[in-house]
Amino acid sequence: MTRRKYPHQLTGNNELTCCALALATYRGRMSELMNGRLRMPRTAPENFPLIAAIDLGSNSFHMILAKTDQGEIRVLERLGDKIQLAAGLDEQRQLSEEAMQRGLECLSRYAQLITDLPQGAVRVVGTNALREAVNRDTFIQRAEALLGHTVEVISGREEARLIYLGVSHNMPAFQGNRLVVDIGGGSTEFIIGQSFEPLIMESLQMGCVSYSQRLFQDGKITPARYGQAYTAARLELMRVEQALQRHGWQEAIGASGTVRAIGLAVKSAGLSNGEVTLEGMTWLKRKLFKLGDVDKIDFEGVKNDRRAIFPAGLAILEAIFDAFGLQQMVHSEGALREGVLYDLIGRLQHEDVRERTVSALMERYHVDPEQALRVETKALEALQQVAGDWDLQEEWHQELLVWAARVHEIGLDIAHFQYHKHGAYLIENSELAGFSTQDQQMLALLVRGHRRGIPKDRFSGSGSEGEKLLRLCVLLRFAILFHHIRGNREVPEVRLLAKAQQLSIRFPQGWLENNPLTVADFAQEAEWLAKAGFNLLVS
């Protein structure tokens, strides 16, 4: 297994909308400027007949093992376990050893089904509990050792995007907008979308496990406690009510176990056919007040391990109904884990949403596409020459280098002075669809280090993968320096030779003597790299 360690766990809060027009523009320019250029090979989808997704949720862990068939998935195995990871978070946001053990025991069972699947065929995503946990790296490292695959922590809006993808593939075709709601253990996601495209995505800090810990920890159900949970949810909802209502919708769908359990409880009372209704929730609420204790909950369809979080889930859902004026909500079996699978298929079939995200970033911050392409091409050529010697042969090495080459100049839209820092900040604090939190941090680090001094402490702080990131940064800097003089001028073929902490660049004989600016550039670069413990030789 190749396991990544990541520097500086940062999260963002600014929305970035993917722009298909920007992607088409950039690809068009690529085609015009780079006929027949070489790329390192990607894994073909037919090489992954089996794929799997694991959702490390705040309440439950889920896994799907599926077979791919013409871009569709045929589910072979579904597993789900109530772990309540969010219940293990204390006031300092430390995840308890007991909660970690519950999760790891579950993952040890899941690991048996994916032990023979190759890298790239399995995607593991962590949601709100791992976003919140300050010691998440401890759990992630142990989980990766068990599973043999990388664990990604995704942002709230990325979680929302994947939920919508899972719902839209699971529900019948529908004309008009859909409101999708997923009440999780620690957060609740809201998406309005049309067909397979999300239009707006939001994630709020309210969940059935976290609210249960705060208000129903001893299992007692009272109107006062229920009212506190309802009010807390309404206050959270005020942040997104107007934005969602401006888009409007014609159908409301719930994608979580909470909505499914409430729908089944309402059905058992003969008040619906499985959908959630206002009348049904009113009946459930009265019934809960009469029971007075979670241990007495005996609604049909509500499993024993969901009793403790049922009142909080009902309070949150009632607040959602009232905030948006809903009359009913249907349930979708498709959710985050299915969305992860379809997103994985898209990556394997070169329909990667991350490509659209990067193109949108370039468009938003007015990146010069010709210069970006020149740098990308030279960086890939350099990578091909040194990949073996520098152990940079995995697909993510190429992807990260390409994306960094495309967006390294976004900070120029803010100011020229320290634009590499502006660019890194923008990447760290934007919502980048398709990117995990870790991948986003690594991309920001390459952009931060692409010129002037290299923040060696941030690279060295990420363990063995930090060395690979530093090498990618050196290759990016070389490509940028090589095209310091912009334009489609004729450039020489150069040879790169790599050792552990050294890169040798050999120009054609006599070329450097006729290009003193390049000589000066690389002399200065050698000084910058020396401060980072790297030796650059130019001849």
CB burial of 14-49 (b: ≥16 within 10 Å; e: otherwise) equals eebebbeebbeebeeebeeeeeeeeebeeeebeebe
Kindly write down the DSSP assignment for every residue of 363-420, as one continuous string: HHTT--HHHHHHHHHHHHHHHHHHTTTTT--SHHHHHHHHHHHHHTTGGGGT-STTHH
Q: Which of 70, 53, 162, 74 is nearest to 117 (CA)?
A: 53
What is the C-alpha separation between 98 and 95, in angstroms, rounded? Answer: 8
Query: In Å, what is the CA distance from 114 to each residue of 118, 217, 349?
Result: 9, 36, 21
Q: Give pLDDT, residue 460.
A: 72
Q: Give pLDDT, residue 45.
A: 45
Pairing of β 72-82 and β 60-69? antiparallel
Topology (CATH) of 16-39+350-539: Hypothetical protein af1432 (1.10.3210)
8 A C-beta contact, residue 297 and residue 291: yes
User: Phi then psi for 189, rounded to 5 degrees?
Assistant: -105, 145
pTM beyond 0.85: no
What is the C-alpha separation between 9 and 137, in angstroms, rounded? Answer: 9
Amino acid symbol at 301: G
Helices (H), ranges, 93-221: 97-114, 128-132, 136-147, 156-170, 208-215
Topology (CATH) of 172-331: Nucleotidyltransferase; domain 5 (3.30.420)
Contacts of 114 (CB under 8 A, 6+ apart): 52, 65, 121, 122, 147, 148, 149
User: Phi then psi for 332, rounded to 5 degrees?
Assistant: -115, 130
Local structure of residue 252 (DSSP, 8 states): E
Q: Give pLDDT, residue 404.
A: 94
Q: Do domains 43-154+337-344 and 172-331 have the same CATH topology?
A: yes
Q: Give pLDDT, residue 48.
A: 73
Query: In Å, what is the CA distance from 315 to each residue of 253, 331, 335, 341?
Result: 17, 17, 21, 31
Provide the residue ranges of all domains of the chain, joining segments of one domain with +: 16-39+350-539, 43-154+337-344, 172-331
What is the C-alpha separation between 343 and 323, in angstroms, rounded? Answer: 31
8 A C-beta contact, residue 468 and residue 392: yes
User: Phi then psi for 309, rounded to 5 degrees?
Assistant: -105, 0
Task: State the helix-helix crossing angle for 395-407 and 437-448, rounded to 10 degrees.
Answer: 50
Q: Give pLDDT, residue 461.
A: 61
CATH of 43-154+337-344, picked from 3.30.420.40, 1.10.599.10, 1.20.1740.10, 3.30.230.10, is: 3.30.420.40
CB atoms under 10 Å from CB of 514, counted, come to 8
What is the C-alpha separation between 515 and 512, in angstroms, rounded? Answer: 5
8 A C-beta contact, residue 226 and residue 315: yes
CB atoms under 10 Å from CB of 254, counted, come to 25
Helix (H) or strand (E) holding 188: strand 188-194
pLDDT in tens, the chain (539 residues): 443 433 333 333 333 333 334 344 444 444 433 333 333 334 444 567 899 999 999 999 999 999 987 666 788 999 999 999 999 999 999 999 999 999 999 999 999 999 889 988 999 999 999 999 999 999 999 999 999 999 999 999 999 999 999 999 888 888 899 999 999 999 999 999 998 899 999 999 999 999 999 999 999 999 999 999 999 999 999 999 999 999 999 999 999 899 999 999 999 989 999 999 999 999 999 999 999 999 999 998 898 889 999 999 999 999 999 999 999 999 998 899 999 998 988 776 666 788 888 998 999 999 999 999 999 999 999 999 999 999 999 888 999 999 999 999 999 999 999 999 999 999 988 888 888 888 888 999 999 999 999 888 888 765 567 889 999 999 999 999 888 887 777 778 899 999 989 999 999 988 888 888 888 988 998 999 999 888 999 98
Amino acid symbol at 85: L
Q: Give pLDDT, residue 73.
A: 77
Q: What angle do CA 65, 66, 67 make, to 5 degrees?
A: 145
